[in-house]
Amino acid sequence: MLKMKGVNKVYTTDMIETHALREFDLSVESGEFVTVTGPSGSGKTTFLNIAGLLETATSGSYELDGVDILGLSDSQRSVLRNQKVGFIFQGFNLIPDLNLFDNVDVPLRYRGLSAKERKARIEEALARVGLAARAKHVPSQLSGGQQQRVAIARALAGKPKFLLADEPTGNLDSLMARQVMELLEEINTEGTTIVMVTHDPELAARSKRNIQIVDGQVCDMNSYSVSSTSI
Ligand code: ADP
Ligand code: ADP
């Protein structure tokens, strides 16, 4: 599971402090699919980047899969990130000159796997997202929805426990967005914990749990609705 308590993140630029997260508390259990919504600038990306060990908190405690992140060095943190976390982004972040096979291989190259094991994982991941036949194509030959599926394959090839998605459907039309969401739901059912930032209220409404971040703090809509119905 993923557990943040009293997390603060302060950015200082030109002597101006921005509190991106304030006393931020959130627990996500293994197997959950959580969507995260909130106004622009409210701290969603900051939360996801800290959750995925891309950034560190200024203060507060964070535990990922039983490991206390505060006690880790930078290199221990990257090892843990490689083992546990996959990312997908709004802009897909594929390398334009590499074919799909090589794009999915990029993060695997840092994991000390044999070429044979990497090939097996890449083929399995591309098949999982329905793009096995396109392995030799480059990203520009695919639709946006297909490119995002390649990015999902790239994340899955690392066999992550946690898949963190920052507006993965933000550049897609509504049909492709729904298809990507359905794929993520299947992946969640197969056991991967997913946290997804989205601006799309329809997608947020589909998830079992939606949390809203406002002004760097979490407002758990589900617990809110439970307590408000009991009034
Ligand atoms: P980030 O989370 O990466 O800091 P923003 O939250 O500012 O970025 O917005 C990410 C993208 O979503 C931008 O391209 C922006 O135009 C778009 N966006 C922002 N608000 C909405 C909204 N309410 N509905 C749809 N798209 C939005
Ligand atoms: P969201 O994803 O909800 O749009 P962000 O997490 O991107 O919000 O940003 C939260 C706040 O932190 C914003 O006020 C933003 O301008 C600020 N911020 C984010 N990243 C940085 C940074 N690297 N340096 C300075 N301020 C930042």
- What value does the mean pLDDT of the chain take? 93
* pLDDT value for 48: 98
- Ligand 2 centre to CA of 11 (Å) is 8
- Residues 162 and 160: their CA atoms lie apart, in Å, by 5
pLDDT at 110: 84
Cβ of 46 below 6 Å from ligand 2 = yes
Cβ–ligand 1 contact at 6 (below 6 Å): no
| Residue 199, ligand 1, Cβ within 6 A | yes
Judge if the beta carbon of residue 154 lies within 6 A of ligand 1.
no
Which of 45, 167, 203, when mutated, tests ligand 1's pocket best, judged by the most ligand atoms within 8 Å of its CB?
Answer: 167
Does residue 45 have its Cβ closer than 6 Å to ligand 1?
yes
Beta bridge partners of 28: 2
For ligand 2, pick from 45, 48, 195 the residue to mutate: most ligand atoms within 8 Å of CB. 45
Inform me whether the pLDDT recorded for 230 exceeds 70. Answer: no
Give residue 37 CA to ligand 1 midpoint distance, Å.
Answer: 10
pLDDT at 223 over 80: no
Say whether pLDDT at 83 is over 50.
Answer: yes
What is the pLDDT, as a whole number, of residue 231?
Answer: 40
**pLDDT of 73 above 70:** yes
- Between the CA of 21 and the centroid of ligand 2 the distance, in Å, is 9
Q: Percentage of residues in the chain with pLDDT exceeding 90?
A: 92
- Residue 219: predicted pLDDT: 85
The model's pLDDT over 19-36, given as tens digits with 9 standing for 90+, comes to 999 999 999 999 999 999
pLDDT-above-70 percentage for the chain: 95
Prediction pTM value: 0.86
ipTM, two decimals: 0.71
pLDDT digits (tens, 9 = 90+) for 179-220: 999 999 999 999 999 999 999 999 999 999 999 999 999 986
Q: What is the pLDDT of residue 222?
A: 57
The answer, yes or no, to whether any atom of ligand 1 lies below 6 A from the CB of 121, is no
pLDDT of residue 214: 96
**Over the range 16-35, which residues count as b (16 or more CB within 10 Å of their CB) and which as e?**
eeebbbbebebebeeebbbb
